[in-house]
Amino acid sequence: MKTFQKFIAEAQRHFSSRAELEKHHGGIPSSHYANNAGSTENPKWRLKPKAGGIAERERREARMNDLTSPEDRERGSKKAAKLKSAGLETHHITPLHHSAKLKASMTPSQWKEREKSDAKQGVYHGHHHKNLMGAIGQKTPEKKKKTGIYHRAGGAHELEGKTKDLYSRAISHKDILSAAHRRKLKKERESNK
């Protein structure tokens, strides 16, 4: 029988594929879930405790509440429900952690001014309905997969990771996602000729 320390050390090991992780552990224990801590090009699959995921979701929910007024949050939740019913996953264009870090560096009055000036440029924060987009996920219908942006692997989250050093007031998350999507569609059109 393994000691607790050996179990923790094994659980923290990284694998190059989910299949390799499952083979090593003989499946995924019911108390954990598989998580890719790396990128699509350099995967680092590991086990994470489900209890930790609950704490992560609670922190995310607290960030959304802190960044979004009740009215905007309600409109955002309606849009998120609409996206889900269409088989799309909800993605925050300006990541919540980015907005939270920005807000933490400002006074409340400075943050209000920043929100106003960003909104004039089409940049929104938190769970605002204009900060939400539909992204392709596992449950997305095939016809929508042709023109949409994937949510995780090869999509919005991966692009954010690769371009996080570019984010500033001059280049918004929305502009980067839009440019990458246009480039992808252009490549597809050229390959179909």
- What are the DSSP calls for 14-40, one per residue? -BSSHHHHHHHHTS--TTEEEEE-S-S
Residues 9 and 103 in one domain: no
The predicted pLDDT at position 78 comes to 97
Residue 184 falls within a domain, yes or no?
yes
Residue 105 falls within a domain, yes or no?
yes
Residue 65 falls within a domain, yes or no?
no
Tell how far CA 139 is from the center of its chain.
16
Beta bridge partners of 128: none
Question: Over the range 80-99, which residues count as b (16 or more CB within 10 Å of their CB) and which as e?
Answer: beebeeebbbbbbbbbbeeb
Residues 187 and 93 in one domain: yes
Residues 35 and 97 in one domain: no
The predicted pLDDT at position 112 comes to 95
Average pLDDT along the chain, 193 residues, taken 10 residues at a time:
62 81 89 80 83 85 95 96 93 91 94 93 93 87 79 73 58 69 77 79
Residue 69 falls within a domain, yes or no?
no
pTM for the complete prediction?
Answer: 0.68
Residues 102 and 174 in one domain: yes
Residue 31 falls within a domain, yes or no?
yes
- Distance in angstroms (rounded) separating the CA atoms of residues 174 and 169: 11
Residues 93 and 35 in one domain: no
Residues 186 and 101 in one domain: yes
Both tokens of residue 157?
């989250």
Residue 84 falls within a domain, yes or no?
no
Q: Can you give the residue range of the structural domain that contains 14?
A: 4-53
Residues 185 and 121 in one domain: yes
Residue 72 falls within a domain, yes or no?
no
Residue 24 falls within a domain, yes or no?
yes
Residues 37 and 95 in one domain: no
Overall domain count for the chain: 2
The predicted pLDDT at position 5 comes to 66
Residues 25 and 102 in one domain: no
